[in-house]
Amino acid sequence: MKKTICVTIPVLFLFSLFFAANIYAAESKTKVFINPGHGLEDPGAVGNRLKESDIAEKIAKRLDEKLQQYCTTRVCIGGSKLSQICKEANSFGADYFISIHVNSSRIQSANGIETYYLRGGSGKAFAKDCQSALVKKLGRFDRGVKVGRFAVLRKTYAPAVLVEIGFISNPTESVLMVSEKWQEDAAEALAAAIMSQK
Ligand SMILES: [Zn+2]
């Protein structure tokens, strides 16, 4: 009997250490909330037979996969319930919030990448990193980092950005953005920007 107790206690101790370490690791992982723009009943911009929501969702899924090893993630499709999305991001305790979109313009030649953040918010540095990573990786025109008052930027607590990765209305970019390479590169750039945050 005595021997059993002697063996059981160290084993239990080791088990509890193991579980505590795992819980700590999960808790200490960076939490990233990914919001593919539009979706559900809202396709977003439509052009060149493409829907913005489809492109955004594909990039979001790839980004989610890339972050799995290092971050705790949550992916929530935009739809029209943006307030609900923001509430979910806040209760999730997101460290970073990223909303993925592609742009559209009546001017077909409009092209390039831009990233929005909220003036006075905490997302400016994160926005700069996302923008430069995307431009570098995709090699498209740098439209710069811009101030925006989108609901997803105003109502989220975490440093938040809204990226517009190319123009669905541009003949060249609309072809590029359906390619797996573009989607993979975009996701990789965003993952690198997230991982570079301190
Ligand atoms: Zn959009």
Which residues are close to ligand 1, an ion, with C-beta < 5 A? 37, 44, 101
144-182 pLDDT per residue, tens: 999 999 999 999 999 999 999 999 999 999 999 999 999
35-65 pLDDT per residue, tens: 999 998 899 999 888 999 999 999 999 999 9
Query: How many C-beta atoms surround the C-beta of residue 157 within 10 A?
Result: 15
Dist. CA 43–CA 32, nearest whole Å: 24
Q: Give residue 93 CA to ligand 1 midpoint distance, Å.
A: 24
Q: Give residue 175 CA to ligand 1 midpoint distance, Å.
A: 18
Q: Give residue 147 CA to ligand 1 midpoint distance, Å.
A: 15
Could you give the 3-state DSSP secondary structure of residue 6?
Answer: helix
Helix count and strand count (H, E) for the chain: 7, 8
% the chain with pLDDT above 90: 79
Q: Give residue 165 CA to ligand 1 midpoint distance, Å.
A: 10
The pLDDT, as a whole number, for residue 9 is 53
DSSP state of 108: T
The pairing of strands 160-167 and 142-147 is: unpaired
CATH 3.40.50.2030 fits 30-195, yes or no: no
Q: Give residue 192 CA to ligand 1 midpoint distance, Å.
A: 22
